[in-house]
Chain A
Amino acid sequence: MTVTTKKEAKPRRTERTPRAVKVGLAAGTFFVLFAFAFPVAYVLNTALKSQQDYFSNISGLTTTFAFSNFLDAFAQVDFGRYLLNSAGYTLTAATIGTALSLLVAFPISRRLMRGSAVWNGVFVLMLFLPITLVAQYQMLIQLGLYNSPIGYGLLLTASVGISPLLITGYLRSIPLEMDESAALDGVGYFRYLFTFIVRLAMPALVTAFILQALASWNEVILATVILAERQYYPAAVGLLAFSTQYAVNWPLLSAATIIVALPIIVLYASLQRYFIGGALNGAFKG
């Protein structure tokens, strides 16, 4: 029997797993892999076809390697700008949003403020706010922030969603003794929060960050309504706008899709441990 030296226990299949099961598992895994990778691969395949090639052989493997599609897509539309916009919106919103969530969650979880139970209730309420598209649109107009990336960024930042609740839950696992000893050592509140607590609550913060980043990245409708100039569009809206204009030219569209997807895939591949780790830690809110 193997002795496990790893920290976490995991269910092990018994050594005597029948061959058939092993083969079945492998086949199943391969099928799942295929189901999730094939559609993406297909788009890549299409992106490499020329228009002619596409119309004559829509589903087959590409016979040309028309990298010109990618160049054309870039020439028609400034995808670099769209991606930069998205990066800006997403990172700013997620970073500041998570910081705000921490500032708001910590006092409540430690009952440092009056009426903490009420605030906790408010956090729960924030999980399912009504869709405030119309009100947000009106609000930005009144503030003179319509068609402003700053206005859009502010709205995204404030959409913290589940984060305060998530952080509050996780903070329960950090013993109060830490607070006490820090107080005894004369550590200031903010310093304590942003050095000690941040490090200890990192899994929850990472999760909150990722959740808000994903939500911002996927946000399409508000951007369509609020932003009137192409130069402010996030990548998602830019891709959609591109698709409505060039729907005849599928290879070009596919190239555009790949252009938008590639940076994400690269980013994901390099950071995926954190993504998945972060998501894992979000599994058990208090």
Chain B
Amino acid sequence: MAKNILGYRASPSLGFVPAFAFIGFFALLPAVATFVLSFTDSTGSRGIPVNFIGIDNYLRFFESTGSNRISNALGNTLVFAILTTILINVFAFLIAVLLNRQNKFAVLTRSVVFLPTVLGVAVVGMIWTLFFNPLGGPAQSFLGIFGTQSAFLGDQSIAFGLVIFVNLWMYVGYSVIIYTAGLQAVPADLYEAAEIDGANWAQRTRLITLPMIAPAVTTNVLISIIGSLQSYQLIFVLTGAANPATSVLALELYRIAFGSGGTIPQQGLASAISMVQFVMIGVIAITLFIILRRREEQL
């Protein structure tokens, strides 16, 4: 039985129980409900009866028919998550190193880099929709210099890349801050000692900086992966939920849950997708966590 260091019996529970009950009810209960729904054929339509259909929804998930956009969305989700995580962390690290000085210019730039995260998905979405306007927006004009043109977000082959880019632009700021914190926590004397020993910049970075910021890397990578596996709000704003080139699991879920252009809504199937995504994220996150922690310790 855990010792109560404060000597109070009831108070901690008095605080804990209602708080957790609230969180549990509005955040955890829906998760359980989703689990239950995933075994039904609920359409969400009033009056149409709901039946338990066992694991049928899950079987459909893994079926690969031509119209099954779930496997497509799954693929997109994974690619999106991996690319986003790598790109954000690489760029964030580079920018953090670049801006790791105390002059006003660098500080200002750091603030500006973090601004997109704060602006929000709708504003960022509008900014880039405008920017990528195929009828002569800045991006199109830029391409015009080279004599080419593009439909940008309408071009199935590059829409996905553009979405990753905008996502990167929006969220890199947060990682930059974390890396900056990590860099600033490295004691200066380590660098000075290394300099005296004759190490150049590249060596100092590899042998001191990287190992010392390993915890920050772990944090960042985990946050990025989990975030990007669940990310869909920005994609929703940029290309809508119906574009197969940029469809990720969460968007596909939304489409299927409420029906789209005549297909009957299938909330049971949508819930199954939710659950599979959950398991997938859990597995990936835990695996990554173990791997990164071990590397951290090695360093």
Q: Does A pair with B?
A: yes
- Does A126 make an interface contact (CB < 8 A)? yes
If A134-B270, A136-B30 touch, whether A190 touches B15 (CB-CB below 8 Å) is yes
Report the minimal beta-carbon distance from A74 to chain B, rounded to whole angstroms: 16
- Does B114 make an interface contact (CB < 8 A)? yes
- In the complex, what distance in Å separates the CA atom of A107 from the CA atom of B28? 20
Q: Which residues of B contact A113 (CB under 8 A)?
A: 2, 12-13, 16
If A10-B102, A132-B34, A253-B130 touch, whether A282 touches B178 (CB-CB below 8 Å) is yes
Name A177's closest neighbour in chain B (CB-CB).
Answer: B5
Q: Interface SS of chain A: helix, strand, loop or mixed?
A: helix
If A114-B1, A193-B15 touch, whether A46 touches B130 (CB-CB below 8 Å) is yes
- In the complex, what distance in Å separates the CA atom of A180 from the CA atom of B3? 12
Q: Which residues of A contact B275 (CB under 8 A)?
A: 130
B15 near A59 (CB under 8 angstroms)?
no
Q: Interface SS of chain B: helix, strand, loop or mixed?
A: helix
The residues in A between 227 and 259 inclusive whose CB is less than 8 angstroms from any CB of B are: 235-237, 239-240, 243, 250, 253-254, 256-257
A133 near B254 (CB under 8 angstroms)?
yes
The residues in A between 67 and 105 inclusive whose CB is less than 8 angstroms from any CB of B are: 99-101, 103-104
If A113-B13, A250-B133, A264-B120 touch, whether A29 touches B98 (CB-CB below 8 Å) is yes
Q: Which residues of B contact A10 (CB under 8 A)?
A: 100, 102, 183-184, 188
The residues in B between 98 and 153 inclusive whose CB is less than 8 angstroms from any CB of A are: 98-102, 105-106, 108-123, 125-131, 133, 135-138, 140-141
- In the complex, what distance in Å separates the CA atom of A132 from the CA atom of B285? 19
In this complex, the member of B2, B125, B267 whose beta carbon has the largest number of chain A beta carbons within 10 angstroms is B2
B236 near A220 (CB under 8 angstroms)?
yes
Q: Which residues of B contact A219 (CB under 8 A)?
A: 233
- Does B61 make an interface contact (CB < 8 A)? no
If A33-B109, A135-B30 touch, whether A189 touches B8 (CB-CB below 8 Å) is yes
- In the complex, what distance in Å separates the CA atom of A235 from the CA atom of B126? 13
If A11-B186, A189-B15 touch, whether A128 touches B226 (CB-CB below 8 Å) is yes
- In the complex, what distance in Å separates the CA atom of A243 from the CA atom of B16? 44
Classify chain B: how many residues form its interface, as a range. 35 or more
Q: Which residues of A contact B186 (CB under 8 A)?
A: 9, 11
Name A234's closest neighbour in chain B (CB-CB).
Answer: B122
If A9-B188, A126-B27 touch, whether A135 touches B15 (CB-CB below 8 Å) is no
- Does B180 make an interface contact (CB < 8 A)? yes
A257 near B123 (CB under 8 angstroms)?
yes
- In the complex, what distance in Å separates the CA atom of A143 from the CA atom of B152? 44
B169 near A214 (CB under 8 angstroms)?
no
If A221-B236, A264-B118 touch, whether A111 touches B123 (CB-CB below 8 Å) is no
- Does B298 make an interface contact (CB < 8 A)? no
B237 near A276 (CB under 8 angstroms)?
no
Q: Which residues of B contact A132 (CB under 8 A)?
A: 27, 30-31, 33-34, 274
The residues in A between 15 and 44 inclusive whose CB is less than 8 angstroms from any CB of B are: 25-26, 28-29, 32-33, 35-37, 39-40, 42-43
The residues in B between 64 and 111 inclusive whose CB is less than 8 angstroms from any CB of A are: 95, 98-102, 105-106, 108-111
A139 near B120 (CB under 8 angstroms)?
no
Mask: chain B, 198-234; 1 = CB below 8 Å from A; 0 = not: 0000000000010000011001000000100110110
Q: Which residues of A contact B16 (CB under 8 A)?
A: 103-104, 107-108, 113
Report the minimal beta-carbon distance from A23 to chain B, rounded to whole angstroms: 13
Name A238's closest neighbour in chain B (CB-CB).
Answer: B122
Question: Which residue numbers of B lie inside 8 Å of A, CB to CB?
Answer: 1-8, 11-16, 18-20, 22-23, 25-31, 33-35, 37, 44, 95, 98-102, 105-106, 108-123, 125-131, 133, 135-138, 140-141, 169, 173-174, 177-178, 180-189, 191-192, 195, 209, 215-216, 219, 226, 229-230, 232-233, 236-237, 250, 253-254, 257-258, 267, 270-271, 274-275, 277-278, 281-282, 285
Residue contacts A-B, CB under 8 angstroms, 25 given = A8-B184, A10-B183, A29-B99, A35-B169, A36-B109, A42-B130, A58-B136, A107-B16, A110-B6, A126-B23, A131-B253, A132-B31, A134-B34, A135-B33, A160-B23, A160-B27, A183-B7, A190-B15, A221-B233, A240-B122, A269-B111, A276-B114, A279-B114, A283-B177, A283-B219
Q: 9 tightest A-B contacts by CB?
A: A158-B26, A189-B11, A130-B278, A132-B30, A236-B122, A58-B136, A135-B30, A135-B33, A103-B19
